[in-house]
Amino acid sequence: MSDLKNLIIEEIKEYEWDKIDGVIKSIIPNIIFSVDENKSTQNLLNSRFGGKPAAPSGFTWPVQSLGQKAPLAFFFQLNFEEIKPFDVENIFPKKGILLCFASVTDDIM
């Protein structure tokens, strides 16, 4: 982590930005996801975009709260065990899965 921090500090100094600590704090906590299909193993509990969510039995699919109550689209899930090593600020739980759904229609406003 310190090598990355030093690289960022050098870049900031080169462009003469003020408030180096504020810039670093806004950059370092971010986690960037990428997919390497050659290294990926298919597992219902993996972090991923799309597909079938790892929902518990009896799960009720979320719907829009306004309009026609249409089902929300499943966008991604995060398995906190997989991303915990990258959680430098220790803000995520050690385990669990976050499911993210969103509306893909224009009539929710």
**In this structure, is residue 108 part of a structural domain?**
yes
pLDDT on residue 74: 93
Q: How far apart are the C-alpha atoms of 49 and 44, rounded to whole Å? A: 12
Q: How far apart are the C-alpha atoms of 38 and 26, rounded to whole Å? A: 32
Q: Which two tokens mark 106?
A: 């224009």
pLDDT on residue 106: 61
Q: How far apart are the C-alpha atoms of 21 and 25, rounded to whole Å? A: 6
pLDDT on residue 45: 87
Q: Please count the other Cβ atoms lying within 10 Å of the Cβ belonging to residue 98.
A: 13
Domain match, 51 and 25 both? no
pLDDT on residue 28: 60
**In this structure, is residue 25 part of a structural domain?**
yes
Helix (H) or strand (E) holding 81: helix 80-83
> Sign (positive/negative) of CA torsion 86, 90, 93, 98?
negative
**In this structure, is residue 35 part of a structural domain?**
no
Q: How far apart are the C-alpha atoms of 99 and 91, rounded to whole Å? A: 17
Domain match, 55 and 99 both? yes
Domain match, 13 and 54 both? no
Q: How far apart are the C-alpha atoms of 7 and 23, rounded to whole Å? A: 13
Regions in the chain scoring below 50 on pLDDT: 1, 108
- Domain range enclosing 8: 1-30
**In this structure, is residue 39 part of a structural domain?**
no
pLDDT on residue 10: 75
pTM, entire model: 0.62
**In this structure, is residue 42 part of a structural domain?**
no
